[in-house]
Each structure stands twice: as C-alpha cells, then as structure tokens.
Structure 1
Amino acid sequence: MRVLVAEDHRILARTVATGLRRQTMAVDIAHAGDEAERMCLLTDYDVLVLDRDLPVMSGDDVCRRLRELVDPPPILMLTAAGEVEDKVYGLTTLGADDYLAKPFDFAELVARVRTLSRRPPGPAPAGLEYAGIALDPARRTVRVHGRTVELTAREFEVLHLLLRARGAPVDHGTLVRTVWDEHLDPRTSAVRATVSRLRGKLGDPGLITADTGQGYRLCD
C-alpha cells in the first residue's frame, strides 16, 4: 500500500510517516499543497492523508482539484477543524472520503487508512497468472501450481510487479519506488532480501532470476 502524507508540520508529518511505515505501508511526504497535487499526478497513491491548512495551495483546493481526475486517490482529511460543520463541509462540498480531527489516536488513523485503501475505485482488478503462479489482487491470495502461499505485504507487492511484467525484468529503482518509498536508501539490501524470501516461499529458487544491470524477472 502506498500513502502520501501531505502535512506542513514537519515533525507531525515525519511521525505519521514513520508510524505508517511500521505498518508495512510505503509512505511519501509533501509539505505544501502544490507539491501534494504534483505527486498525486505522478504516482498512483492508495490513500492521500491531507491536511487542510497547507501552504502555497490549501488542502481544500488540492481536494477539489484531485476530485476532477478520472481516478483520484481516496482522501483522508487530517485537520484541526473538527466541528461537525467542518466535517460536513469536507465530506460533501470538498469531496473528501473521510475526515479525522486533530489530535487523533494513531490506531484510528491506521484503521481509517486501511479502510480507504480497500475501497475499489472501479471494477475489481483482474487476477494474474504466469509461470504457474496465480495472484488475486482483490483477495490478496497467491497460489503456486495450486498450492496456497502466504506472503507478507512487501513480498506480495514484489510478486505483483513481477507478474505484471510477465517475464520482462523489473529494475531495482522501480521496485523501491513502488513497493517501498522515497525514504528507503537505494543502496539497501531490502529488495534483495525480500526477493530471497519470496523465492523460498514460492518453492523454486530459479523462478525469479536476477539480470545484472536490469533487475529481477520471472522465468516460465
């Protein structure tokens, strides 16, 4: 799951991002409204956590502008304006999907983010099959030659990317940007370690190969 936290209070933004990352979410941060809009246009986020009081472009304007897109991200407004009329305005006039007033309980924030990420924007994504692997994105299940395989969230997302590539290599940078986030050190061994565990769970070490300089790919 990939989340954008748009919050101008840098300590709060960092705290929220760190907490969500500990819940195995990939998190990017924007500190201004125009930056948040630009990042949403460039990246498909599962959820946008949006403060209403942002510099350059207000969170209200960001919400309005994103709602003009064909497939906007679900928006959770996170704001100090917690009166009933503020919530009604945010949910109806601005078009936010959810509204959480500050101060908030972090467990509630996590629950709301996960709930929003499960709301399909359109038809449920089709299942993927390749090299004896069947992956269902909606149910988040994986079967290898009919055998059910339990994967962590990161392992599932890595496999999802590899299946979508259907044997073409997926480079390290794409895996980092999509499955992790901009916070991850590109020199880290996290990708290699995740792929290694994934190979073991799939039961065939040769099913995922590493092409020097190109990335990882599935072998049928």
Structure 2
Amino acid sequence: MVEDDVAIASVLHQALQEAGHAVDVSHDAALGLEMFEIEPEDLLILDIRLPGLAGGGVELCQRVRSISSDVPILMLTAIDSAASKVAALDAGADDYLTKPFHIEELLARVRALLRRAPRALPPRLTVGSLELDGSTRRVRRSGRTIELTAKEFAVLDYLMRHPGVIVSASDLIDHAWDSNYEGYSNVVPTYIRYLRRKLSRPGEPDPIRTHRGSGYSIGADT
C-alpha cells in the first residue's frame, strides 16, 4: 500500500492485517516502486496524490504495469471526478475507490480483486481431511468447524496452498506478517503449536510436520 497520509495508512494497515493480510506500507511513490521491484506483491493499493514521482500514483501505476501486467491495482483518491477516474483506469488500475469510504467496502474490493487475479488459487482448498474456504475464512476437519485467528488462518492457508512442500519459517512470515516484521524469532513455531492444538483431536494424526532446520509441511494423509 502506498499512501502518503500516515494516519489513513495506519488505519488501513490495521484493518487489512485484522482481515488476515500481510501488508507492506510506503508513503512515497518512488519508494513504493522500489519495494515492488524488489518483492512483487499480490495486490497494490495506491493513493493518487503521492510524493516521489512527478505523476504521483498515476505514474506509479503506469510503471508497475510496465513490470507486471497482472498484479491487481486499487486506486484511492479524494478527487471524485470522471477525469481522475479515467486517468487512473487508463494508467492500468483495475478498480477505483473515492475517499471517504467504508473499510468494509475496501476489504470487499480487495477480496474481489484477489479472486480475479490471474495468479489467484482456488478459494477452497482441501488437503486430506482439512478444508479451507478463503471466501468465508472457514476451516473444517472431518466435518467439524475449527475457529482460527487471522494469523492462524494465514499460516494454515499458506501451508495448504503448498501441500507436500517444505515451507520455511521466513516464507510463512512473509505471507502472514509483512516485510517490516521485527518481532520475536519463535513466532512461527508458536503459531504452528496453536494450529496443532486446534486442528487435532485426541487420536487424530498431526496434520503439520516439522522438518528440523528446514520448515514445515502439510500432506494429503492428514
């Protein structure tokens, strides 16, 4: 997300995180472009009036499009004019939201853009007896519903999108937290432990395997 209003960026950052998204934030268009070039994102939220580039968010959108033709881009602006909307859409934006807006609408548009993205995976995942529905954020195992926090859901979602693959702790942090995470080093093992407690009843096999020194995996025989 590239938003020069620090207060607005903070509110949106928190709302998106609470919805289970890992969010990288910049307040400058040039820095935002540099961040995207280093590590491409699943979706971009760009303000139109941004410092750092002469053309602001519209120029940033154009430059991102020259790098990636498929990353979804949502533009935010306080300018409610047809000309502004046309400029944003012509620059390559997929959607446009005028300030002020309801957080619920922003989150709904983010979900819709992620569903339509060419790289998007099916919202419903099944690995063995585990089922995960990304659209409703529900998890079931052997027919019973399991309540997860946003971070627990994000960790399980990433593991289930890579069945049988050893996923490193750093990959999980990139997916479930963000690039600026500087918390304690045991955060991933802690959340894996939380998941194990919630996903398995007595007598059921542990769905998550630990590969010492490498990471974690989830297999079809869970």
TM-score, normalised to structure 1's length?
0.75
Contact 1:71 1:121 in 2 (8 A): no
Deviation of 1:24 after TM superposition, in Å, equals 2.4
**Counterpart check, 1:15 vs 2:16:** no
Q: Which moved more, 1:22-31 or 1:155-164?
A: 155-164
**1:87/1:23 CA distance change after superposition, 3 Å:** same
The TM-score with structure 2 as length reference comes to 0.75
How much has 1:43 moved relative to structure 2?
A: 3.4
State the shift of 1:174 in Å: 1.5
1:32-85, Cα deviation, whole Å (9 max, x unpaired)? 222222323343433211011222222111111222345432111112222122
1:206-217 counterparts in 2 under 5 A? 206-217=206-217
Select between 68-77 and 174-183 the one with higher mean Cα deviation: 68-77
CA distance in 2: counterparts of 1:102 and 1:24, whole angstroms = 23
Are 1:100 and 2:108 matched, yes or no?
Answer: no
Letter in 2 for 1:175: L
Which residue does the alignment assign to 1:51? 47
Separation in structure 2 between the aligned mates of residue 55 and residue 95 of structure 1, nearest angstrom: 19
Structure 1 position 120 matched with structure 2 position 104: no
What CA distance in whole angstroms lies between the structure 1 residues aligned with 2:131 and 2:97? 38
Q: Structure 1, residues 80-124: CA drift from partner, whole Å, max 9, x if none? A: 222122122222x21211112233333332232222222232685
Q: How does 1:61-210 map to 2 (within 5 A)?
A: 61-91=59-89, 93-121=90-118, 125=122, 147=143, 150=146, 152=148, 153-163=150-160, 165-187=162-184, 190-203=187-200, 204=204, 206-210=206-210
Give unpaired runs (5+ residues) of structure 1.
none
Q: What SS class does the counterpart of residue 48 from structure 2 fall into?
A: coil
The answer to whether the 8 Å contact 2:43/2:73 transfers is yes
Q: Tell me how far 1:214 sits from its aligned partner.
A: 2.9
5+ long unaligned stretches in structure 2: none
Contact conserved, 2:146 with 2:199, CA < 8 A, in 1? no
Structure 1 letter corresponding to 2:76: L
Mapped contact 2:72–2:117 kept (Cα < 8 A): no
Count of aligned pairs between the two proteins? 214
Q: Higher strand fraction: Structure 1 or Structure 2? A: 1
Gap change, CA 1:134 and 1:115, over 3 Å in 2: closer
